[in-house]
Structure 1
Amino acid sequence: MTTSTTTKTLKTAIGGYGHHAALKDGSVTPDGVAFEHVEVAPIINAFRRMCRGQEFDISEMAITTYLAARRYGLPFTAIPVFPVRAFHNNAFAYNTDSGIKEPKDIEGKKVGVRAYTVTTGVWARGIIASDHGVDLNKVTWVLADEEHVAQFHDDMPSNASMQSGADLTKMLADGELAAGIGIAGREPPENVKPLIADRGAAADYYKRTGIYPINHTVVVKDELLQANPGLGQALFEAWKASKEKWLASATAEEKATAGHNIIEGDPFPYGLEANRKPLETIVQFAVEQRILPSKLNIEDLFAKGTANLS
């Protein structure tokens, strides 16, 4: 961003992670920018507010929420920073009385997930389809919450069934659902077990594919990016500097935990090229799951001037 004698205050909603600490405390700020941090807990509540009302100038956002937002031309664009990542290989749980013996047995059954475009659901469905041959179109996906991107309700796949406000955890335990994604609860009953029980499945997936799944990115209002052509790059550099401060002070154990005891070195790689494979994969999953009508160019997902940053 061009050096200026004036400072522009940008309303910002981001999670309170260690690698965001320097952004939150003001020790890292782009030239000419001051962050007005709006505390939103949990941070996922900010995603809907940004999609439906553009409440913030800058907002953290789930990657598949962002892809849905791009489909409908919502007026914000991401920078290639990815502050939350996770492996989703063990996200499915099933009711042991459902007759399910292997992942492919969820075909023809009802499977619960909070919302269709929730990122864990998209990754978990994509992985179970690619690794275990599950036909996702033969599953009835039972949803309990609205999508953050309201426009997607009109394009919901026909095999998705909304039961607004339903207690999916109870439905799974009671056998109304055969399985679910991320709904087993903190202390699942005896009849609810992981569909993929192997705790090494995530490490194996990473070893086989090199894919380190992205959960969240950060988006900026288009009007700001258009008015300030250097803003995207300046914000990227600020996010990178904040992360580097955390990396310099974090213990080896903290870094290992952040990398799910799988990723060595930087557990939060930023930049498009370092993340091309997971980005292309989540776009492909979104197409296969009818969240996107067709593939998007990865470079087009990010603010001008940021595609080559690392």
Structure 2
Amino acid sequence: MSARDETHMPTPLKVLLGNHPHTRLLKDGTVPVDGADCRYLESFPLPSAFARMVRDLAYDICEMPLATYLQARDAGIPVTLLPAVLVGSTHHRALTRLPDGPQLGPGDLVGRRVGVRAYGQTTGLWVRGWLQEEYGVKSSDITWVTTEDVHVAQYVNPPYVKRSWSQRVVDLLHSRDVCAAVLGPKAVGGQGAGLIPLVADAESAGQAWIERHGTISANHLLVVRDDVLRDSPDAVLAVYQALRKAIANTAGERDDSPAGRAVTAGWSASLAACLEVGGRYALEQRLIRDPVDVAAIEKQMAFFDA
């Protein structure tokens, strides 16, 4: 192969994406990425990849939970956010209890133990946010019992977080180690089947949150390693543009629920509000040390939407 041919070879990129309708179009080649040779890697379970990304920079481009991104940014881990929401929803249904357990409301959790997969789990970030905002219950008012560590190795949990060696959050409920549990979107319909939300009308409460903040809470976003963005900006842009096209092409597969409407690509007032509210919640909950500079993030994203 000549040197001329080599200069026209697409840039190889290690890309880690979960399996969603909009990402599958990239993975199966329905929407090609012109200008990059994407090597799509898999991770089972998906969250283990998030830890590998922020601890070892194991991928060039990686799906990442909002809370993990905020903590990584706070810790100085060299990743840049791309303006795409891959997963999102409201989270008032996520705070659950056993049907035969104490009939608690959210305001009754002060001084009690609540299970969550990790203190840095994004669903937990959003739940603790509305608990304080709507019920006056601060994160430090509750003992949070976790089954996993946070993804960002540099982070140290606050003293009101305790580690359990149970494998699943629902097991904490069944053993009566906790009175309530936070479950992510997939877990609500999986291990959480049959559990009861502490919020009586969770859907209406979630819609009220959306109207109040002008955004839908994001769970998973997309990041790129800073060195990859610096050295191969056109290839990274090609991935983003292909993803944006895939999101547009799968719009008909998403319903009008908050989860369906959350999936978007492009900088917007809604994404800015999501980062502002999520960043404020993270600061209140001691997940990060410094306020989130949304204007600085927007400036970084200008490259992608130019």
Shared fold (TM-score, shorter chain, > 0.5): yes
Contact (CA 8 Å) 1:77, 1:221: kept in 2 or not? yes
Residue equivalent to 1:138: 141
Deviation at 1:132, TM superposition (A): 1.5
Question: Are 2:274 and 1:273 aligned?
Answer: no
RMSD: 2.5
Residue equivalent to 1:180: 181
Deviation at 1:98, TM superposition (A): 6.5
Residue equivalent to 1:304: 300
Equivalent positions of 1:44-193 (< 5 A) are 44-95=47-98, 101-152=104-155, 155-165=156-166, 167-182=168-183, 185-188=191-194, 193=196
Residue equivalent to 2:4: none
Task: State the AA in 1 paired with 2:159.
Answer: S
Deviation at 1:135, TM superposition (A): 2.3
Residue 82 of structure 1: SS of its match in structure 2? strand
Contact (CA 8 Å) 1:79, 1:306: kept in 2 or not? no
TM-aligned CA distance change 1:37 to 1:224, over 3 Å:
same
Pick from 192, 208, 224 the counterpart of residue 228 of structure 2: 224
Q: Share of identical aligned residues, percent?
A: 30
* Rounded Cα–Cα distance in structure 1 between residues aligned with 2:243 and 2:62: 13
Residue equivalent to 1:235: 239
Bigger drift between 225-234 and 205-214 goes to: 225-234
Bigger drift between 77-86 and 95-104 goes to: 95-104
Bigger drift between 270-279 and 26-35 goes to: 26-35
Pick from 5, 8, 16 the counterpart of residue 5 of structure 1: 8
TM-aligned CA distance change 1:96 to 1:109, over 3 Å:
farther
Residue 127 of structure 1: SS of its match in structure 2? helix
TM-aligned CA distance change 1:92 to 1:162, over 3 Å:
same
* Rounded Cα–Cα distance in structure 2 between residues aligned with 1:123 and 1:138: 16
Contact (CA 8 Å) 1:141, 1:161: kept in 2 or not? yes
Deviation at 1:143, TM superposition (A): 1.0
Deviation at 1:299, TM superposition (A): 3.7
Task: State the AA in 2 paired with 1:286.
Answer: A
TM-aligned CA distance change 1:291 to 1:94, over 3 Å:
same
Deviations 1:105-138 (A, max 9, x none): 1010111101001010000110111111112211
Bigger drift between 142-151 and 171-180 goes to: 171-180
Task: State the AA in 1 paired with 2:72.
Answer: A
* Rounded Cα–Cα distance in structure 2 between residues aligned with 1:72 and 1:299: 19
Aligned length: 293
Q: TM-score, normalised by structure 2?
A: 0.86
Bigger drift between 30-39 and 88-97 goes to: 88-97
Residue equivalent to 1:284: 280
TM-aligned CA distance change 1:163 to 1:186, over 3 Å:
closer
Contact (CA 8 Å) 2:96, 2:181: kept in 1 or not? yes
Bigger drift between 192-201 and 120-129 goes to: 192-201
Gaps of 5+ in 2: 1-6
Residue 108 of structure 1: SS of its match in structure 2? coil
Deviation at 1:230, TM superposition (A): 4.0
Residue equivalent to 1:255: 254
Deviation at 1:11, TM superposition (A): 0.9
* Rounded Cα–Cα distance in structure 2 between residues aligned with 1:210 and 1:51: 30
Residue 264 of structure 2: SS of its match in structure 1? coil
* Rounded Cα–Cα distance in structure 2 between residues aligned with 1:143 and 1:8: 40
Q: TM-score, normalised by structure 1?
A: 0.85
Deviation at 1:232, TM superposition (A): 4.6
Residue 151 of structure 2: SS of its match in structure 1? coil
Bigger drift between 57-66 and 269-278 goes to: 269-278
TM-aligned CA distance change 1:101 to 1:21, over 3 Å:
closer
Residue equivalent to 2:248: 244
Question: Are 2:190 and 1:195 aligned?
Answer: no
Residue 53 of structure 2: SS of its match in structure 1? helix
TM-aligned CA distance change 1:187 to 1:96, over 3 Å:
closer
* Rounded Cα–Cα distance in structure 2 between residues aligned with 1:36 and 1:285: 35
Deviation at 1:276, TM superposition (A): 1.0
Contact (CA 8 Å) 2:166, 2:172: kept in 1 or not? no
